[in-house]
């Protein structure tokens, strides 16, 4: 009898928590009013929207007016980077980011490069931590924006945002962070982190796909990327997706409520998985930072094997994992993150990322540990030398 499917790809997306669905449902069929209308049905939607905004603001230690709801994490990143670039190009046309950002940031920066902006892609060390000395050196009078992710989606490394903010501070440079992977997992206090803009995406923390948020510090000059009816205080036009926004806020609230307990539980599972793999399989590199990493992230390179082959064998055995970034797995180029960390392509090709979540148990981990050594061994005999 086949066992249950073991999902270990929470960095790609998460299931929607039933409590989130429950909070959303009334806003589809009962309180479906347009939040911009003034009669009672619309006012119900407006109230739900206001509550959601207050909830998100409170958890991030922000003001409600500093929260802009968007259509996804990608949109939040695009809006932050293009928005700052377009609104501040009179002051300079230089942007600093890192070599290991998500494509939503990297592609936006490449787009701006084609439009006359200069972009510096900071290097990282072997653990994927950004080089702060290089950041200092890269800043010029022309620099208007620094964008550094809070935690990496492939290897889970957490960046020293507070130290970066201290370097950027008082230089008239905006600081954006893609916190999509950190959202719902790490504590996010925008004042303590010192960020001016911060991106979140609901589907990475048990809310639905297709809803995101962007924190925009009061006073930030930002060109809206969606023009129209002036919703979200003119920063993102489009009729508000009330149900999804309610879902995002509820999911963030649930994550926040048992953050400490869940972090400890998931980190325990992750360490069991990591230790089990490192002790039962030879020639494995545990990628990412040993301690400064997301509690749910276990990423490896299995030398002499193809990550994709391992992934497909795991799937045949009822286990869902990833070779790294879901967004680039269609290409066979080695991951830009692992490459930036200095891993040779031959090693990076053996990458497997397992990201744990709310529904995973010790039994799940033990099932993986029981199967993986044979799977890797078989793949090693198949892989081209």
Active-site positions read: 327
Query: Are the beta carbons of 298 and 270 closer than 8 angstroms?
Result: yes
Could you say which residues in the range 78-137 bind ligand PLP, by CB under 6 A? 102, 104
Structure tokens given for 222: 């930002």
Pairing of strands 94-98, 143-147: parallel
Mark residues 190-229: x for contact with ligand PLP by CB under 6 A, - for none: -----------x-xx-------x-----------------
Closest residue to bound ligand PLP by CB: 73
Name which of 11 and 311 has its Cβ closer to ligand PLP: 11
* Buried/exposed 235-264: b ≥16 CB within 10 Å, e otherwise: bbeeebbbbbbbbbbbbbbbbbeeeeebbe
Q: Can residue 232 be called a binding residue for ligand PLP (CB under 6 A)?
A: no
Contact 217, 66 (CB under 8 A): yes
Give 66-109 as a DSSP string: GEEEES-HHHHHHHHHHHHHHHHTTT--EEEEETT--HHHHHHH
Number of neighbouring beta carbons within 10 Å of residue 91: 14
Is residue 295 part of the contact set for ligand PLP (CB under 6 A)? Answer: no
Pick 212 or 304: Cβ nearer ligand PLP:
212
Residue span binding ligand PLP (CB under 6 A) among the ranges 72-80, 163-171, 230-238, 255-263: 72-80
Binding footprint of ligand PLP, residue count (CB under 6 A): 15
Q: Which is nearer to ligand PLP, 45 or 181 (CB)?
A: 181
Q: Which of residues 145-184 bind ligand PLP (CB under 6 A)?
A: 149, 153, 178, 180-181
Q: Are 319 and 311 in contact (CB under 8 A)?
A: no
- CB nearer to ligand PLP: give 71 or 350: 71
69: nearest Cα among 243, 313, 256: 243
Contact set with ligand PLP (CB under 6 A): 72-74, 77, 102, 104, 149, 153, 178, 180-181, 201, 203-204, 212
């Amino acid at each position: 009898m086949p066992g249950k499917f073991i999902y270990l790809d929470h960095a790609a997306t998460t299931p929607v928590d039933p409590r989130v669905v429950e909070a959303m449902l009334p806003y589809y069929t009962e309180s479906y009013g347009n939040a911009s209308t003034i009669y009672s049905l619309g006012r119900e939607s407006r109230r739900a929207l206001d509550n959601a905004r207050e909830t998100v603001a409170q958890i991030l230690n922000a003001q409600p007016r500093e929260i802009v709801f968007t259509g996804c994490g990608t949109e939040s990143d695009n809006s932050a980077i293009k928005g700052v670039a377009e609104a501040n190009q009179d002051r300079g046309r230089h942007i600093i980011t890192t070599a290991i950002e998500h494509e939503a940031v990297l592609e936006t920066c490449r787009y701006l490069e084609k439009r006359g902006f200069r972009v510096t892609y900071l290097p990282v060390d072997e653990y994927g931590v950004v080089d702060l000395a290089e950041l200092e050196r890269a800043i010029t009078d022309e620099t208007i924006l620094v964008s550094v992710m809070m935690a990496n989606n492939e290897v889970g490394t957490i960046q020293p945002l507070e130290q970066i903010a201290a370097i950027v501070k008082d230089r008239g440079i905006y600081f954006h962070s893609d916190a999509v992977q950190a959202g719902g997992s790490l504590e996010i206090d925008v004042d303590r982190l010192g960020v001016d803009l911060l991106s979140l995406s609901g589907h990475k923390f048990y809310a639905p796909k297709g809803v995101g948020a962007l924190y925009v510090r009061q006073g930030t000059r930002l060109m809206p990327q969606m023009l129209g009816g002036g919703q979200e205080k003119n920063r993102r036009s489009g009729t508000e997706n009330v149900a999804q926004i309610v879902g995002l806020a509820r999911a963030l609230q649930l994550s926040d409520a048992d953050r400490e307990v869940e972090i400890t539980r998931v980190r325990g599972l992750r360490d069991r998985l990591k230790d089990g793999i490192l002790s039962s399989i030879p020639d494995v590199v545990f990628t990412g930072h040993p301690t400064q990493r997301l509690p749910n992230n276990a990423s490896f390179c299995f030398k002499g094997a193809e990550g994709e082959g391992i992934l497909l064998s795991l799937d045949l055995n009822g286990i869902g994992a990833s070779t790294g970034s879901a967004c680039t797995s269609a290409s066979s180029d080695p991951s830009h993150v692992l490459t930036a960390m200095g891993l040779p392509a031959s090693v990076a090709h053996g990458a497997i990322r397992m990201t744990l979540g709310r529904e995973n148990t010790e039994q799940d981990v033990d099932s993986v540990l029981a199967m993986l050594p044979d799977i890797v061994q078989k793949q090693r005999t198949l892989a081209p030398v």
